[in-house]
Amino acid sequence: MRTPSAAETFGHGASDLRAVASPGLPPLVGLVGPTAVGKTALAVRLAEEAGGEIVSADSRQIYRGMEIGTAKPTPEEQRRVRHHLLDLVDPDETVGLAQFQELAYAAIANITARGRLPFLVGGTGQYVLAVVEGWRVPRVPPDERLRRDLYRQAEEEGSEALHARLRALDPSAAERIDPRNVRRVVRALEVCLVSGEPMSAQQVKSPPPYRTLLLGLSLPRQELYRRIDRRVEAMITAGLEEEVRRLVAAGYGFDLPAMSGVGYGQFAPYLAGEVELADVVREIQRATRRFVRHQGNWFRRDNTRIHWLEATADPYDAALELIRQFVASSASEGFVVQ
């Protein structure tokens, strides 16, 4: 018997996929990869064809008013496919990993209950893995006074000294956290000091109630760098400077985590009159290249589970075929695809 094509399985409209709950586990499709590799555009096409909805797993797209610098899905893309977990908070607010995980689980459950296929899409490896691996994230609320003290220590003694303190309290967590990532080191220390337990001991896993297909997009490093450079230039053309100025005028300072990130923090010396716009562009490009190397560390951990697709050519057909097979196997586990 001839194997149906992906288009035949899904039909040609978003209403053609129906996953009906039964003893089997519902399917979840994850799409990961570095910044600028093309995740958003591909996810929209796939979800549109497969009757899916997208759950954003991007730690920067949660902020309202930060559209261009975070490469948030465009209004047109959001009209084509429903997106979840965008624009959750203002730039001076935070969403911790535990809160994100809870929100993601709720969104996925909502999508599944309506007979749609959830797509978890983003480049924040910690967000993706917390959901698909079922991390039990420590529920330790922020302690602002302690955080200030820890950040002060990092400023006065250096990030390595702060990391050494974490290594003494929680060697496992210290091994996983880059000493230069002061924000994550501070959070790990905060969990240890407030709870009295190592953070690593609290991060056990409880597999979530999904069958998960993880797809990854990759590019040769130099081609990815060229895309990054072009995208940063396109962001400037699209009005990134004006977006940053609006945020600063609204009272959001560069000391905020949201405003100190790549694409925003690099504007601080420019707005102070210390550098030219061309310098800002080059620094954003350099910082983004550093960031994608950091992203690679997360996703290399799951190379055996991720189906990597080369993005030098259009990966749509290959990705859709993998999803077709995955949904068909979900049907054999107790889901009916109509």
Dig out the tokens for 232 from the structure. Answer: 């940063």
pLDDT higher at 316 or 198: 316
Across the range 61-71, mean pLDDT stands at 97
| DSSP 8-state secondary structure symbol assigned to residue 170 | -
The overall average pLDDT reported for the chain is: 87
Question: Does residue 2 surpass a pLDDT of 50?
Answer: no
| C-alpha span between 214 and 236 (Å, rounded) | 33
Contact 110, 100 (CB under 8 A): no
| C-alpha span between 93 and 45 (Å, rounded) | 32
3-state SS class at 213: strand
User: At residue 299, what is the residue type?
Assistant: F
Band (331; pLDDT cuts 50, 70, 90): low
Provide the residue count of the chain. Answer: 338
> Is-same-fold flag (6-137+205-332; 144-202)?
no
Question: Does residue 11 surpass a pLDDT of 80?
Answer: no
Across the range 288-302, mean pLDDT stands at 81
Which ranges of 116-208 does DSSP label H, i.e. alpha helix?
125-132, 144-157, 159-169, 171-176, 182-195, 199-202
| C-alpha span between 322 and 21 (Å, rounded) | 21
| C-alpha span between 52 and 207 (Å, rounded) | 22
Longest dimension (CA), the chain: 70
Contact 199, 192 (CB under 8 A): yes
Of 70, 91, 94, nearest to 247 (Cα)? 91
pLDDT of amino acid 24? 73
| C-alpha span between 333 and 129 (Å, rounded) | 23
Query: Cα separations (Å) of 232 from 31, 155, 288, 314?
Result: 22, 30, 9, 22
> How do the domains of the chain map onto residue ranges?
6-137+205-332, 144-202
| C-alpha span between 70 and 78 (Å, rounded) | 15
Dig out the tokens for 77 from the structure. Answer: 């893309």
Contact 321, 7 (CB under 8 A): no
Which tens digit of pLDDT belongs to each residue from 299-330? 776 667 899 999 999 999 999 999 999 998 87
Band (332; pLDDT cuts 50, 70, 90): low
Return the CATH fold of 144-202.
Histone, subunit A (1.10.20)
The answer to whether domain 6-137+205-332 has CATH 3.40.50.300 is yes
| Helices (H) then strands (E): counts for the chain | 16, 6
Band (145; pLDDT cuts 50, 70, 90): confident
Phi, psi of 307 (to 5 degrees): -85, 100
Of 128, 135, 130, 97, nearest to 29 (Cα)? 128
Phi, psi of 163 (to 5 degrees): -65, -35
pLDDT of amino acid 333? 54
State the pairing for strand pair 52-56/83-84: parallel
pTM of the model: 0.80
3-state SS class at 128: helix
State the pairing for strand pair 211-218/306-310: parallel
Across the range 170-195, mean pLDDT stands at 86
